[in-house]
Structure 1
Amino acid sequence: MKHLGRTLPFQGPEGQFVPDSIAEVKYLRLGGIEQWVMIRGESVANPPLILLYGGPGLTEMGFFRHFNAPLEKSFTVVYWDQRGSGKSFDRKLPSSSMTVEQFLSDLEELVDQVCKRLGKKEVVLYGHSWGSALGVLYTARHPEKVAAYVGSGQVGDWAAGESSSYDYVLAEAQRLNHRKALKKLRAIGPPPHDARRLLIERTWAQRLGGELSARTFWTWGRVLLGGPEASVFDLPNLLRGFRFSLDTMWAEVSKLNLLKAAPVLQVPVFFFLGRRDHWVPNEASLAYFEALTAPSKRLVWFDESGHEPFVDEPARFNTLMAELVRPVAVSPRKQRAPDLLPV
């Protein structure tokens, strides 16, 4: 069952409609199938910001709406459940359509429709984890349509990152003398992993890092299914979509190497990295940042964050998006000056 949901309009202090605001949710036809898209912003004059979620197969709309709604003051935010995930999941979707090339084509159609709807020529892309690979590949292909790119959990050489992640969790299990973890991790062996082995490695990375508990699952579930946009009826498709997407795409995406596929981006670039990210380890993100050629690039550290800085340090994330990224996005392209200083 698909649940479109509804999204509340922007209202002033006395309940009046905010002029030039936008709050709409619908299914758009992208790549020949219906995909769920929500657009929210206090002013359509603001630059569009398309959120590219992780996974593949994770819908993070609930997290962004819960923790990052202030972004809607500075940007017109586009929330997109990608092909095969969340509200866009469909049991009839062929596995053969779940390719990186198809997702790039879907994103191209989305960008064009968003620009047409809002009367813009460019968008800002924020990519998280898998979304950071999608965002970089799209930006490399269509720089004229991207005002700025921001990445978290930023993929570089994906295979190298997976090896670093496994080495970290195995070393932690040895340090803690956690026999069950050691048994499970040694049983799956080092990467490359399939989707099943990946989930085992990721689970232990979270557990040994103290970030996974029954309370965590309860909190995540409450956030993801809270608000008028979501419903408990979404839950089956959230789970099915995640496993379907991971099973069908992992073999391809885990071989991506952006150092080779996208060594140059012709737009301003920001990396917002969590110091405690062990899913996409910092050394993998930094290797790509250092190798990347761009007109400007800026590295921002989130010292209290893991894989999701927008969840772990939302106030800082929202502020820096408004203060660092928005000015670049609204300035004329020829005035987007270099800035190589970390924050």
Structure 2
Amino acid sequence: MLGTVLTVTAGATVATPVAGLLARRAIVRSGNADRLRINSNHGIDEQSYVTIGGLDHWLSIRGEDRANPVTVELHGGPGSSNSILAGVSRDWERHVTLVRWDMRGTGKTLRRSGADNQGDLTFDQLVQDAVDVVEHVRERLGVRRVVLMGCSFGSAIAMRIARSRPDLVAAYVGADQKIFDGGRDTSDYYATLDRLEQAGKKKELATVREMGPDQRAWSAEQFSNFSRFASASDPHTFAAMKSVVMKSLWYSPLHSLREIIIFFKSFMVSAPVLPSTAFLDDWADGTRFEIPFFVVQGACDLVNTPARARTFFDDVQAPVKESTLIEDTGHFAVYKRPEIFLDFLLTRVLPALLGTRHPAPGSKRDTEPALRTCPIPLKMRLPRGGSVNLTADPTIMGQRLRAPKSVPVDSQGPFAAVVVRRADLDVRLRCDGDGEGARHLVGVQSASEADRRWTGSACLVRRLLTGSADVSMPGASSGALAGPFSDRTVFAAQHTG
């Protein structure tokens, strides 16, 4: 979709003396490769080709912990591989196992078989390919359902799978959400005309005027031209392509110089997919989803406007739905501000998951929802000879996330227990201590000052201005601190004599 814009940006980059440019590239790529390395014993880092629909497709599966929820990401374009963005999204892999796929006609999949051997390049074929990829990932990682994340054009594919195959998808996330309406809304066309006219782009303006507002009559070349002009005239999107996309492509340790050329070629090879999309209608296909539905949009996106995405979102019926805007961003919002998206993922998307993994016969997973919780360190200092048992029993929406975890602690301290970060989470933290006059201080720090309703049992709970709760318990007694707590709650405990 953005091939020519990226090519123009690339031209400015390579104007730097070649020798110095390549030397700098080698140094930065080496550092990026170190940052991408996964050293966890429970992690996964696989890149391979999988035969789907008669074609070898390139897949990447990366994450720090195989027990984390699985997120399958569908890139945009068509032809805009997200594998170049591995460095930008590196922190996501600490919380999810991230699966990336180069669609037919794109990136490493294109290079593997060549442009003439990509098979049926149609929208329906890409949807079927995506279903097959999810099926493969389920089998490979032993999960029942995945979080399906669609980016820009990929969101149109992902949303159709989320709607029709809730047996495969635990939650849907649309980033830079693309909405089709069968060509009824032509506001994007006229907005692009206005921007081109204001910028004095006479040649581009004439080209777009000649095309007319009815996309159903456009050729693949005309779709490509319009996408280029719309993106290049959007200041936030153009800035993101220079600072995020081009920078990531040039310094990607996963891509050779030849694959940079393939990256740009992918847009041209994938363009034949576009004309048939003019007849798609998301409202006609249905607004009811049986799974949680999330949309993340750049507030200043002029390519896939937040207004159109919001119009569809308002009509969506889903068990859970939430839409958010990332301020001061255009297209590629979640990659321009990956830390904001990660917070949304941790506090909104992942807590909505229930039962996404295959239960082993006779295991606790048969009866307990398999939501991956976020570990939050709890540190406790004990007097000489003292001891304490701490039990974290997290539940959400009335359902237990995992069995209560009881941790015996001796004077060696510190230790960690598992709690969950979630606004409507009910966490019961129970401390059982010995020693005469034992005193437990449970401090709660939060980015939000939302109302907290503290309750205590066999202890005195006092809310402090700092947002902490001072829990005093007599020796050989016990106490409990209960929520609900606000977002990003961090627990710290100290036991002193």
1:117 equivalent in structure 2: 140
> Which moved further from structure 2: 80-89 or 205-214?
205-214
**Match among 192, 196, 215 for residue 173 of structure 1:** 196
1:124-203 map, 5 Å: 124-160=147-183, 163-175=186-198, 179-192=202-215, 193-203=218-228
User: Which deviates further from its counterpart, 271-280 or 231-240?
Assistant: 231-240
Structure 1's 323 and 94: CA in aligned 2 closer, same or farther, altered over 3 A?
Answer: same
Do 2:236 and 2:331's aligned partners in 1 also have CA atoms closer than 8 Å?
A: no
Distance 1:160 1:154 in 2: 17
Cα distance in 2 for residues equivalent to 1:26 and 1:336? 39
The answer to which of 185-194 and 32-41 deviates more is 185-194
Residue 217 of structure 1, CA deviation? 5.0
Aligned residue for 1:67, secondary structure, equals: coil
Structure 2 residue matching 1:284: 3-state secondary structure: helix
- 1:136 and 1:209, CA in 2 relative to 1: closer, same or farther beyond 3 A? closer
Aligned 8 A contact 1:169 1:204 in 2 = yes
Q: Output the CA distance in 2 between the equivalents of 1:91 and 1:336.
A: 50
Task: Find the aligned partners of 2:106 and 2:184 in 1 and give their Cα distance.
Answer: 24
Identity percentage over the alignment? 26
The alignment's TM-score, normalised by the length of structure 2, stands at 0.60
Instruction: State the structure with more CA Rg.
Output: 2
Post-superposition offset of 1:237: 2.3
The residue that corresponds to 2:405 in the other structure is none
What runs of 5+ residues in structure 2 fail to find an aligned partner? 1-32, 356-368, 372-395, 399-422, 424-497
Instruction: Write the deviation string for residues 213-247 of structure 1: whole angstroms up to 9, x where unpaired.
Output: 7995586334124333211121232222221111x
Find the aligned partners of 2:240 and 2:321 in 1 and give their Cα distance: 38
Q: CA deviation at 1:103?
A: 2.0
Q: TM-score, normalised by structure 1?
A: 0.85
Letter paired with 1:21:
G
Residues 136 and 262 in structure 1, CA contact (< 8 A), matched pair in contact too:
no
* Aligned CA distance change for structure 1 residues 303 and 100 (closer, same or farther; 3 Å): same
> Match of 2:94?
73
Equivalent residue number for residue 412 of structure 2: none
Letter in 2 for 1:10: I
Normalized per residue, the structure richer in strand is: 2
Of 290, 299, 306, the match for 1:282: 306
Q: What value does the CA root-mean-square deviation take over the aligned residues? A: 2.8
Tell me which residue corresponds to 1:320: 344
Contact 2:237 2:332 in 1 (8 A): no
How many pairs were matched up?
Answer: 325
SS at match of 1:114: helix
Q: Which deviates the most, 19-28 or 97-106? A: 97-106
In the aligned structure 1, how far is the partner of 2:188 from the partner of 2:256? 34
C-alpha change, 1:219 and 1:150, in structure 2 (3 Å) is: closer
Query: AA paired with 2:319?
Result: P
Shift of 1:116: 1.6
Question: What is the CA–CA distance in structure 2 between the aligned matches of 1:336 and 1:160, rounded to whole Å?
Answer: 41
Query: Quick check: 1:162–1:191 contact (8 Å CA) kept in 2?
Result: no
Q: C-alpha separation between the residues in 2 aligned to 1:218 and 1:273?
A: 18
User: 1:158 and 1:57 mapped to 2: Cα distance?
Assistant: 22
How far did 1:119 drift? Answer: 1.5
The 1:158–1:234 alpha-carbon spacing in structure 2 relative to 1, beyond 3 Å, is farther
- Say whether residues 1:207 and 2:229 are aligned partners: no
Equivalent residue for 2:279?
Answer: 255
